[in-house]
Amino acid sequence: MSRTNNSIKNLFTSFTSEIIIIFLKFATRSVFINILGSQFLGLNGLFTNILSILSLAELGIGSAITFNLYKPIADKDYKTISLLMKLYKKTFTVIGFTVFLMGIILIPFLPHIIKDDTTFINVNFVFLLYLFQTVSTYLFFAYKRTIIKAHQKEHIVSIITTVFAIISNIIQIIVLLVFKKYELFIITLILSNILQNLIIAIKSDRMYPYLKNNIKDELPKDEKKEIYKNIYANFIYKINNVILNSTDNILLSSFIGLTIVGLYSNYLLIITAIKTILNKFFNAIIASLGDLYSSNNKESEYLIFKVINFFTMYSYGLAAIGIFVVANPFIKLWIGDDYVLSQVFVALLSIEIYVLGIHKKLSTFRTAMGLFQQAKYRPILGIIINLVLSMFLLKIIGLYGVLIGTIFSIFITFICFDPYIIYKNVFKKSVLEYYVVNIKYVLVLGAAGYLSNFISNSTSLEEGFLSVVSQSLICVFITSLVVYIFFRNTQEVKYLKQTLQNYIIKLRKQ
């Protein structure tokens, strides 16, 4: 199957899977809030962030080894594939025990991270449950999903994930309604995680039986050295990503309290749902990009980069506009006025998701093209800017400061410099064209956002479900129309239209 067909199939399956999972998450969150309240919600967000930071022990090895799998897969070099997976398994085992040890060491410091009174729950026990959930990811076959993804079979993992999401969310809702126990709620997550990884491992063994061969050889030292160099470079990037995504709740809990973490986490659920759907696009194509890169077709690489740059602008721009217009009405409709934050906060959240989208696009290409070493220390600057600026502004303007720190650090350290690295090392072209095009994109999105907000606020529908739906449709229609008017004659739009037409024709012939 061609790269395009694989990407479209993976994208469609992943998209459908995530829509189902998102609805289930919102249903579970609704029950969670009604049964346990905002403090438990804040605790859930806090511990999730802490464990994300502990998972830095993963060192970015997944991305580095996945990149090294592309060529042996294309060459059908099963021995090298098996040796890489063997290295992956050993590394994940070490990582699992390392994360567990760091978690145990952190327990005495939990009271200093949580500002609120925590007598309502055994915090140490709950943290241990979260810790075991994270560790189980590394110790119970999770590494085997990598081989399926590297073969561009992401849709298989998506189907299994969806089935387990349906089962586990239904069980979680039952546990909350019947027992009203937070601890049991987490235990269901642990069991679901272990069983899901086990099923994926069984599936990968059946698809690639050579993985079960007991190979006593090891990778050559020079190959290991190169992999470890890439792991080290990717580790620097991973630190920055974790700081960007996993420290907000920790800072808010330490300086303000669990309640604001709970309120913030409801918006983050919306943001995460949107990012997850859009990131599925990048996850679906990343194996195809790696395969394309191994073919050394520079013109195709450049065209695909421009197409994905356009798609990123449109999809994340639409998401940002939709959040700005619809987020507060949706929160009000979903869980009530008590959980609504200011429109200024929503505006910053909209900017943040667009910036994160651009960052995701660039990091996807950088990873797929194996650009691990170039400017590998640059993310350290991002970490310093993010933490220092966030803590400084948090004391002055509260919640807004955390978002501003994240936005500014991403823009300064990644969005400005990653395009230069990609253009210099991959395309061998001037990066000026990229900057000019993306400035145009932002200006057009600004116009689309203004029109969407103006027309949405001018509608006479009363607050409620129909109002939220109509505002969402207005955002989609206006943004799509404005973007199409300005860019309909570009190479990127023509390529996307032709690809879609070809895929529809193939579906009709089946």
Distance CA 242, CA 56 (A): 8
Distance CA 324, CA 306 (A): 27
Distance CA 317, CA 320 (A): 5
Distance CA 134, CA 406 (A): 25
Find out whether 27 and 169 touch, Cβ atoms under 8 Å. Answer: yes
Find out whether 126 and 182 touch, Cβ atoms under 8 Å. Answer: yes
Long-range (24+ apart) CB contacts under 8 A made by 5-8 are 5/503, 5/506, 6/152, 6/153, 6/287, 6/288, 7/152, 7/284, 7/285, 7/288, 8/499, 8/503
- Confidence bin at 424 (pLDDT 50/70/90): confident
- Does 14 have pLDDT greater than 80? no
What pLDDT is recorded for position 407? 92
CA angle 92, 97, 102 (to 5 degrees): 120
What pLDDT is recorded for position 453? 93
**Of 234, 227, 266, nearest in space to 249 by CA:** 266
What pLDDT is recorded for position 1? 46
| Token pair listed for 398 | 């509260």
What pLDDT is recorded for position 281? 65
Distance CA 329, CA 439 (A): 30
Lowest pLDDT segment from 4-13, 162-171, 494-503: 4-13
What pLDDT is recorded for position 462? 67
What would the mean pLDDT of 120-125 be, rounded to a whole number?
A: 87
Q: Which of 42-51, 62-71, 384-393, 480-489 has the highest mean pLDDT?
A: 480-489
What would the mean pLDDT of 303-324 be, rounded to a whole number?
A: 91
Q: How does the average pLDDT of the chain come out, rounded?
A: 82
- Residue boundaries of the structural domains of the chain: 1-229, 296-510
Find out whether 173 and 31 touch, Cβ atoms under 8 Å. Answer: yes
What pLDDT is recorded for position 283? 61
- Confidence bin at 449 (pLDDT 50/70/90): very high
- The phi, psi pair for 369, rounded to 5°, reads -90, 5
How many CB atoms sit inside 10 A of residue 506's CB? 11
The region, left, alpha or beta by phi > 0 then psi within -120 to 50, assigned to residue 217 is beta
The region, left, alpha or beta by phi > 0 then psi within -120 to 50, assigned to residue 398 is left
Find out whether 362 and 415 touch, Cβ atoms under 8 Å. Answer: yes
- Does 152 have pLDDT greater than 80? no
What would the mean pLDDT of 215-240 be, rounded to a whole number?
A: 73
| Token pair listed for 237 | 């990037």
What pLDDT is recorded for position 176? 93
Q: In this structure, what is the dihedral angle of CA atoms 458, 461, 462, 465, given to the nearest 10 degrees?
A: -120
Question: Is this structure's pTM higher than 0.85?
Answer: no
- Confidence bin at 479 (pLDDT 50/70/90): very high
What pLDDT is recorded for position 330? 93
What would the mean pLDDT of 457-470 be, rounded to a whole number?
A: 79
Distance CA 447, CA 456 (A): 14
CA distance to 66, 76, 77, 158, 230, per residue, from 73 (Å): 10, 5, 6, 21, 19
DSSP conformation letters of 436-465: HHHHHHHHHHHHHHHHHHHHHHH--PPSSH
Q: Which amino acid is at 439?
A: I
- Does 416 have pLDDT greater than 90? no
What pLDDT is recorded for position 257? 76
Distance CA 336, CA 218 (A): 58
What would the mean pLDDT of 320-324 be, rounded to a whole number?
A: 96
Distance CA 339, CA 265 (A): 10
Lowest pLDDT segment from 10-14, 58-62, 137-141, 504-508: 58-62
**What letter would DSSP give residue 476?**
H
How many CB atoms sit inside 10 A of residue 341's CB? 17
What pLDDT is recorded for position 455? 92
Q: In this structure, what is the dihedral angle of CA atoms 225, 227, 228, 231, given to the nearest 10 degrees?
A: 160
Lowest pLDDT segment from 21-25, 232-236, 381-385: 232-236
**Of 312, 398, 314, 325, nearest in space to 362 by CA:** 312
Question: Given CA atoms 44, 50, 52, 58 in this order, what sign does their dihedral have?
Answer: negative
- Does 143 have pLDDT greater than 80? no
What would the mean pLDDT of 254-278 be, rounded to a whole number?
A: 83
What pLDDT is recorded for position 293? 52
More confident residue, 338 or 12: 338
What pLDDT is recorded for position 67? 72
- Give the pLDDT confidence of 163-216 residue by residue, as tens digits: 888 899 999 999 999 999 989 999 998 898 889 888 988 998 899 888 877 777
What pLDDT is recorded for position 461? 64
Angle between helices 258-294 and 248-255 (to 10 degrees): 170
